[in-house]
Amino acid sequence: MSQPSRERKVFAGLLIVVSLAFAWILFPFYGAVFWGVILAIIFWPLQRWLLAKLHGRRNIASLITLVVIVVVAILPVSVITGLLVQEGAAVYRRIESGELDIAGYLAQAMAWLPDPLRAQLDRFGLQDIESLRSRLAGSALAGSQFIATKAFSFGQGTFQFLVNFFVMLYLLFFLLRDGRELVSMLKKAVPLHDSQKRRLFSKFTRVVRATVKGNVVIAATEGVLGGFIFVLLGIPSALLWGVLMGFLALLPAVGAGLIWAPVAVYYFMMGDLVHAFILTLYGVLVIGLADNVLRPILVGKDTKMPDYVVLISTLGGLALFGLNGFVIGPLIAALFISAWGLFTTPEHDDTANMPPR
């Protein structure tokens, strides 16, 4: 083995080791780093516009963009999260006090079921209402304790939360200010042809913007629409159910229907056909139409991925990475498809992934 070849291998090994060590150091703050990068990509057009208006004053432009991000993206999420925790705790208290008798509601619903189906439920012990009531009471107690534990651990971890939050803001400022130079350095480090690098980086930014902006708009729209109909029909804890419908709207095809459809079925089984008809009609024609119209425009057009790939990658991302997974999952899937596209198309073919005119 020649000396230059040996030196290159040693250097490559050193590069891998120090890169892994650096990633290991950053891992406790991976969420802060991840969302710093994501928000920098999403709000980069605003940063670029401010740079033009402020004649290239990068510090001022980055600071203004950072303030806009806090007001537009971070504060609303914080407020909704606080309200959701309060609403969830209130629901658990109502279950514990007996004000919300879920077991009684289930007993009424079971009375409407056909005999064969009730026989199958009886095999699993679900016809024993008293046993079911005790199970639900135990679940309610466990749920309330879970909420209290989370609230306590949040109080205990306030310092860590603040550290992560300010790390994200600090990093975000410099990503906005020096983003162009950092991307240029990253492109130089990637050992691919210029056309391939352009396609990969373009795909990355398109998927990030489409996934985050598109899914946030879809989730907010379906959550508001679902919460509105629940308020209109007098369904308790409409805020909680609206937020859950918004969260489930991240999943294509199923989405908010996992919440409103069982409620519509319950109304039907209780003989309240008016509420069942209104909720079903509204869910299909309004909430469902919003998903079918907005998702292809805001997400599908830029990611160019089938709905089933988006669904599976989103579920996998959420299972592995928690809430961050709704971005990480589709992003990995899109890069997987894009990388295999580079492998199966000619190296210098720039037209393979160009958007249609």
Task: Provide the pLDDT confidence category of residue 86 given band limits of 50, 70 and 90.
Answer: confident
* Span 47-58, average pLDDT: 89
Q: What are phi and psi of 16, to 5 degrees?
A: -65, -45
- Region 171-177: mean pLDDT is 91
Is residue 40 within 8 Å of residue 170, measured between CB atoms?
A: no
**For 203-261, what is each residue's pLDDT tens digit?**
777 777 777 777 788 888 888 898 899 889 888 778 878 888 888 887 766 778 888 88
Question: Are the C-beta atoms of residues 223 and 87 closer than 8 Å to each other?
Answer: no
Q: CA torsion sign, 146 to 152 to 157 to 161?
A: positive
Burial of 111 (0-12, 13-18, 19+ CB in 10 A): exposed
Q: DSSP characters for 311-342?
A: HHHHHHHHHHHGGGHHHHHHHHHHHHHHHHHH
Are 84 and 243 spatial neighbours (Cβ–Cβ below 8 Å)? yes
Q: Is the pLDDT of residue 271 over 50?
A: yes
pTM > 0.75: yes or no: no
SS3 content of the chain, % helix, strand, coil (to 5): 85, 0, 15
Q: What is the largest CA-CA distance in the chain?
A: 84
Separation between Cα atoms, residue 6 and residue 24, nearest integer Å: 27
**Residue type for position 203:** K
Give the model's confidence band at 68: pLDDT under 50 very low, under 70 low, under 90 confident, else very high: very high
